[in-house]
Amino acid sequence: MSPAAPTGDQPGNEPEGAPAPVPPRPPAPASGVLQHLLPSDPSVIAGYRLLGRLGAGGMGVVYLGRTDNGELAAVKVTHADQADQPDFRARFRREVEAARRVVSPWAVPVTGADPDAPEPWMATAFVPGPSLGEAVAAHGPLPERSVRVLGAAVARALAAVHAAGLVHRDVKPGNVLLAVDGPRLIDFGIARTTGETALTATDMVVGTPGFLAPEQAEARTDAIGPPADVFALGCLLAYAATGRPPFGTGAVDALMYRTVHDEPDLGGVPAGLLDLLRACLAKDPAARPAAERVAAGLVEDAPGGAADWLPAPVVRTIAERSARMLALPEIDATTAGLAPAAAAPNRRRFLTLAAGGAVLVAGAGAAAWAAFGGDEKSKPPPPPRARKWTIGVQADLSGPAKDIGRAQERGVRLAVERLNARKDKPFTLDVKVVDDGGDRSRALAAARTLTGDRDVLGIVGPTSDYTAFTALPAYDEARLPVLTVSAGLNLLINPDAPQGVSIVRACPMHPFGAMALAYYVQAKTRSRRPGLLQERTDDTYSWQYVVGANFGFKQGGIVPTPRVIPGGAKQLERVLGEMVEAGMDAYLHAGLAPSAIRAAKTLDALGFRGMRITGQHVFGTEFLTGAGKAAEGWIVGAPVVDPTTRKEAAELIAAHRTAYGTVPAFYTGEAYDVTNLLVQYVEQAAKGGRRPDRTTLAPQIRKAKYAGAMGGYTFDDDGNLNGVGTFMYAVENGRYKPLEFAPSGPPKAGGS
């Protein structure tokens, strides 16, 4: 039995006194990764044949549907039990009516709906591009011209909303989709007629914190009108220009307060946009310009006939998704709808491919077609060139885990050099490295750089938990195998959802690493009152360690004494003193290196001599140098083996000395091993001179039984490492002395 690990935010943690949030509603029509239908999903809704899932939420699912004439649509379906709730059908009917009343080339149109069906549904035209939020997260802020074109189009869409007597009330990056011919405003789920209050409870905040007006933040229902949408548009454009919301991020109540009382942070906004954005973000609704005036103040030109209003990386993302829509399985070839669609303002040089609902730039179409796939008979043949395939590395080379990232990069390079040096090599390999700096805001863009290269056959990395979590959807979307030796976050793989289908994790999940520490305490001491401290700077990691350790101690019949301190290790010294005074006889630290350094010094000063043990995110030179003599005797568990203790690593050590003049650092050997494992399957897939299909590699690697320089590797069906995977070290004379693998369970009764 494995410990129950957290899977996300839990209810009941809302700030006291915070305004009531809007109840959840079905997800908006999306343009993201297409997921397979579940056995319980219908195959047809009305006249739409369902091809896959675009998104899902607590109240419904959005499917990708296709009509008989080949047109694609986003079909939003609500659950039957939701339809039985009071006022639900009235709300859903209102959403359909609101969306139908808005007539604008920059708003996604409704193509069908039935609010009275047992499971109410609505279909809108499908836009294959990413949302503004996805694009900024992946590729960074937009240039000024892009922001102007974006703002002018969305302002015109809002003008149409307001002309229809409506207020959108949820203008945010996720509700603006990017297409090559301009953006599209979506989701009228909480739009209402100006002055309407019957279906909105008093004191209910409607909208998305960070992208709502002060009158929305204060739930002043009577004051919410078209100016609220203009304020949200100002927030949206500031985000597009800078990559961050103008009132910051964080707790909902703090966001609400800053929206009402603080001035927006417009640092980094181009000077030519500042005056207009300040006007949009006025606290007084009467001081904000109308949407038409905003559009007039932004227009330099409309989106051109090419996708030149967007940066090239965003265009590539749109082209990639468009090509995938054209290649969807089981879409019958059609001739209907091949005539050009109704033209939006100033659209030029576009070819509308109605069979896939995709828009490709004529000028860049050949390049996009060749890069992302299309009809083999119609695309131009690529020029001949020498074949070289590539192993990708996504690593932190300049951030907090740069030592680990650099060690892993070296391991990959040495494994690739090993193949390239073979006389019987079937091909040569390159290494392509992308540095995400350990910054999750850069992680998705790093992944897109690698997935966009068709010659990249697999990835080693990412280095860190949260960069892996952010990047993984891109790798899942491309079905590109990802082998990580250091990302132990349990949320990377969800067996109950199509998440983590590409990852192969050659390290234990954090809860299992913590279980190993608890087992080690029991195996090596007679502790009956172990102390367990959770330090919440990295709340997810420390909580997973607490869950795993509690489970491990419980199996041995021991109930630890748990304490929790806030992020930044506030109150650490006082709490440790209380734990020692209460008779703690062993100490397990669930936190990061800075707090572990302070804990080591405090326990040393208190004269505590029981076992002091901690885990993966403390293992490293920071703890040794920071704690100094106080670190002596600490036990640290980590998912790595000292290569100098392995005779099987002799070849690796010799190669590393030749290339870098030293013995390999920790994590180099594990990266070397998983690269050799990946190369083995690439070589099998390339037999007979075939081009390896990278989308088939991850399932095969998960079935591997591989003996590497650092030991043996096998994985379960979900790609997790089998076995303990945690090695124990004692700090001795300022260095980590290898001990042994952690035990796989608590000692038997009567053991020491």
For residue 315, with 0-12 CB atoms within 10 Å meaning exposed, 13-18 middle and 19 or more buried, which class applies?
buried
Strand-pairing partners, residue 590, are 534
CA atoms of 182 and 179, how far apart (whole Å) = 5
Tokens of residue 671, six digits: 């990266």
End-to-end CA distance of the chain: 24
Q: Identify the bridge partners of residue 435 per DSSP, sorted by sequence position.
A: 395
Three-state secondary structure string covering 263-325: CCCCCCCCHHHHHHHHHHCCCCHHHCCCHHHHHHHHCCCCCCCCCCCCCHHHHHHHHHHHHHH
5-9: Cβ within 8 A, 24+ apart: 5/490, 5/509, 5/510, 5/511, 5/544, 5/547, 5/548, 6/490, 6/540, 6/543, 6/544, 6/547, 7/491, 7/494, 8/491
Q: Which residues of 39-71 are buried (b: 16+ CB within 10 A; e: fewer)?
A: eeeeeebeebbbbbbbbbeebbbbbbbbbeebb
Q: Which residue has the tokens 């939420």?
A: 57
Neighbours of 743 (CB within 10 A): 19
Q: What residue type is 157 in one-letter code?
A: A
Q: What is the bridge-based pairing of β-strands 176-179 and 44-45? A: unpaired
605: Cα separation from own chain's centroid: 42
Backbone angles phi, psi at 659, to 5 degrees: -80, -35
Cα–Cα distance between 545 and 144 in angstroms, integer? 45
Evaluate whether 471 touches 443 at the Cβ level (below 8 Å). Answer: yes
For CA atoms 438, 442, 446, 451, the dihedral sign is positive
Do 397 and 433 meet the contact criterion of CB atoms below 8 Å apart? yes
CB 326 within 8 A of CB 355: yes
Question: Could you tell me where the DSSP H helices lie in 432-509?
Answer: 440-451, 465-478
Q: Is 332 a catalytic residue?
A: no
Burial of 286 (0-12, 13-18, 19+ CB in 10 A): exposed
> Which is the catalytic residue, given 9, 41, 170, 604?
170
Burial of 519 (0-12, 13-18, 19+ CB in 10 A): buried
Count CB-CB contacts under 10 A for residue 684: 12
Helix (H) or strand (E) holding 643: none
Cα–Cα separations (whole angstroms), residue 11 to 3, 8, 14: 21, 10, 7
For residue 630, which phi and psi values (nearest 5 degrees)? -70, -15
Grouping H, G, I as helix, E, B as strand and the rest as coil, residue 358 is strand
Active site residues: 170
